[in-house]
């Protein structure tokens, strides 16, 4: 089965249900209540990096009863079509899903290639470090060339830096939350 993707220029994030349906249709996905609800969770907070369990809790909090296996498959389909990205959480030994960065600021090539991200190990919010892209791209290119020289075929470089965000370091002085971001669990 071939899964269509949303590769192409940067898109305006959907503001209406009709725009969301158009996104889903272009991605070749069925426009079910569950699909809309899950994608809207990520659109509500573009820095949210959620596990399957996080999404399950959030969807159930909205009153939707979605089977656990169906939710796993839905998250994987959203990642396969390029609406979400999937990153390994080595500490929790699980996958984290987040809104695809290309949806926010265009394909990786438009932003200079690899864009590293910072993930808070306390709250798991992710912050793209776009200002670090040019030097990072040179390192990523060198790594891919080294793999090619060894006969391997590298497909992508995923660079993440882990630590604690300013809100989690000092929650008292950062009482406003994650820089005004309202997401499924902090708003």
Residue 59: what pLDDT?
94
Number of domains in the chain: 1
The token pair that represents 140 in the structure block:
């990523």
* 181 part of a folded domain: no
Residue 176: what pLDDT?
54
d(CA 164, CA 167): 8
Residue 49 lies in domain:
17-169
Residue 105: what pLDDT?
55
* 156 part of a folded domain: yes
* 37 part of a folded domain: yes
How would residue 73 be classed by pLDDT, with cut points 50, 70 and 90?
A: very high
Out of 29-33, 90-94, 97-101, 174-178, pick the least confident. 174-178
Task: Please compute Rg for the chain using Cα positions.
Answer: 17
Residue 6: what pLDDT?
45
Residue 179 has pLDDT above 90, yes or no: no
* 50 part of a folded domain: yes
Residue 182: what pLDDT?
32
d(CA 187, CA 170): 18
Residue 143 has pLDDT above 70, yes or no: yes
Per residue in 11-30, pLDDT (tens digit) is 456 667 888 888 788 888 88
* 185 part of a folded domain: no
* 119 part of a folded domain: yes
27: which residues sit within 8 A by CB, 6+ positions away? Answer: 4, 5, 6, 81, 82, 83
80: which residues sit within 8 A by CB, 6+ positions away? Answer: 3, 5
Q: In this predicted model, which residue has the larger pLDDT, 122 or 92?
A: 122
The string of DSSP letters for 92-146 reads TTEEEEEE-HHHHH--GGGGTS---EEEETTT-BEEE-GGGHHHHHHHHHHHHHH
Span 59-83, average pLDDT: 91
Tell me the helices (H) and strands (E) count for the chain, helix number first: 7, 5
Determine contact, residues 163/84, Cβ cutoff 8 Å: no
What percent of the chain stands above pLDDT 70?
76
* 117 part of a folded domain: yes
**If DSSP states are collapsed to H, E and C, what string results for 80-92?**
HCCCEEEEEECCC
Q: In this predicted model, which residue has the larger pLDDT, 154 or 11?
A: 154
What percent of the chain stands above pLDDT 90?
19
Q: What is the pTM of this model?
A: 0.62
* 175 part of a folded domain: no
Specify the CATH number for the domain of residue 65: 1.10.10.10
- What does the mean pLDDT of the chain come to? 77
């Amino acid at each position: 089965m071939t899964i269509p993707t949303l590769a192409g220029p940067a898109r305006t994030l959907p503001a209406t249900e009709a725009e969301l349906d158009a996104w889903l249709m272009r991605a070749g996905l069925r426009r079910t209540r569950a699909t809309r609800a899950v994608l809207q969770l990520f659109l509500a907070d573009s820095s949210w990096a959620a596990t399957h369990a996080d999404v399950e809790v959030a969807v159930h909090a909205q009153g939707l009863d979605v089977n656990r296996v169906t939710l796993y498959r839905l998250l994987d389909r959203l990642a396969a079509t390029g609406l979400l990205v999937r990153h390994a959480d080595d500490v929790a030994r699980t996958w984290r899903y987040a809104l695809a960065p290309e949806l926010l600021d265009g394909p990786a090539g438009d932003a200079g290639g690899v864009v590293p991200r910072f993930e808070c190990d306390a709250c798991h919010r992710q912050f793209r470090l776009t200002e670090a892209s040019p030097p990072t791209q040179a390192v990523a290119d060198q790594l891919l060339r080294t793999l090619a020289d060894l006969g391997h075929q590298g497909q992508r470089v995923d660079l993440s830096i882990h630590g604690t965000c300013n809100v989690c370091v000092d929650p008292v002085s950062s009482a406003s939350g994650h820089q005004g971001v309202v997401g499924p669990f902090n708003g």
